[in-house]
Structure 1
């Protein structure tokens, strides 16, 4: 490739978007990808197939501006959002179940629980809305003092994890809005993630603290060990057996970590998007396939499968 860092080689590769992607998510079992393309709307793919399962449009015939995508842990629902509105989609039928506009401030991140029973919407004002589409119940979480950067929701929809510019991540109840655990950082919290099995939480800031926590006790399990001054994470996935953590980054890199020790076990470099200069790619989605291998989806518009070394 002509660069000093050798590219890692995927086992397989599929093109999901021609001109690059704005956002994507991979299901927790690594079998489904939902990709928001720059020029072709939102496409739902079964990893390994050559035609999309569904093609979705957020705003009708206008330009696609969807920048947040989240697949529920049970793969039954997907929530997509641009800066002003979010939509809930049924994965069984491929049909939308609702479209809601947010007037107060820009949408920063979204997440959806199993069966679509609850949707979490983070806003630039610092408030987070928990919304139940069926009952129309809304709860506003006002714990953050500044802009919220990242959110996640438990599969049953009862717990939310959020992190913001106030240097804090909160685990809180979507039923009462009550804070369960407070995780503090030395700088703004840029990424949070919950383990679907209810064992761990992950919080990372803009500098050097990337922490795995015991979600029941709130105590630290391990800190990710890296030499560089900072690591920014774009997606996080816990393995089902509770041994590994997978992270994506804005600079083509995917890392596999040991949850118990925080040690880095493997480094992967996804294909770059050649149409921009310098060629690079943001890793939007990471996942573990049922056979243990790793699957990624990036702004290059490619889904790639990698052999796991450990």
Structure 2
């Protein structure tokens, strides 16, 4: 599920559809805004930035939609594998994490490939951008957490994790980050890079 603004949200399904809803604050009800059979397999990732919605599927295709008219108008072919995670920064750049072991940075609108970041030795499963836009975090099936210096366009630090992570996210202020695993979520301090808290969860984080 991905929030678009205070009135809309979009879900991707295992049955290949993306479905958009609008929320009416007065009636407190959702109404169907659009549906599209975006892929020939399950939807694996969604990302929104400005007027754009991107959908990545298990068919290894990435579809581009214009949210102003809810129409598809293109696709991306920069990756050689399944894209598992996508995130916009400031609606100007798109970051994608791929099964081909790479992170890709594309310019929004022109969709020109600006940078390929390589450090993982296995599929990259999630990526998160620091609120300043100067740092990024990525995780992969190689059980590595990579800190990226986006100013220099290279890795700054690699942390070896004890198990395979499922997700990584920066806090809103960028002074902490979170790494989620199957049964727990670890909260790190940026200043010390040490775990401050570990929260146990009953299912996948």
TM-score calculated relative to the size of structure 1: 0.57
Match for 1:154 among 80, 89, 114? Answer: 89
CA positional deviation for 1:141 = 1.4
Q: What is aligned with 2:153?
A: 218
1:99 maps onto 2:35 in alignment: yes
Say if 1:92 and 1:182 are closer, same or farther in 2 by CA, change over 3 A. farther
Q: How many pairs does the alignment contain? A: 198
Deviation at residue 282 of structure 1 after TM alignment: 0.9
Measure, in 2, the Cα distance between the counterparts of 1:105 and 1:258: 38
The superposition leaves residues 152-177 of structure 1 with CA deviations (integer Å, 9 ceiling, x where unpaired) of 22352x32211122111112123112
- Aligned partner of 2:109 in structure 1 is 175
What's the counterpart of residue 19 of structure 2? 87
**Which deviations, in whole Å up to 9, do the C-alpha atoms of 1:90-136 show, x marking residues without a partner?**
3455333221112444321112235xx22110122323222112153
Q: Distance in 2 between matches of 1:243 and 1:225?
A: 21
SS at the partner of 1:95? strand
Q: 1:255 aligns with which of 182, 186, 199?
A: 186
> CA shift at 1:180, angstroms?
2.0
What's 1:239 paired with?
171
Structure 2 gaps of 5+ residues are none
Contact 2:22–2:31 under 8 Å retained in 1: yes
> Which has the larger share of strand?
2
Q: How has the CA–CA distance of structure 1 residues 166 and 263 changed in structure 2, closer, same or farther, with 3 Å as cutoff? A: same
Structure 1 208/219 Cα, relative in aligned 2: closer, same or farther at 3 Å?
A: same
Rg bigger for which structure?
A: 1
Say whether 1:133 aligns with 2:55: no
From the superposition, tell whether residues 120 and 150 of structure 1 become closer, same or farther in structure 2 (CA, over 3 Å).
same
Say whether 1:208 aligns with 2:143.
yes
3-state SS in 2 of match to 1:151: strand
| Alpha-carbon distance in structure 1 between the residues aligned to 2:20 and 2:52 | 10
Q: Which moved more, 1:260-269 or 1:120-129?
A: 260-269
Higher relative contact order (CA 8 A, sep 6+): 1
- 1:181 is paired with a residue whose SS is strand
Considering only aligned residues, what root-mean-square deviation do their CA atoms show, in Å?
A: 2.4
Distance of aligned partners of 1:171 and 1:76 in 2 relative to their CA distance in 1, 3 Å threshold: farther
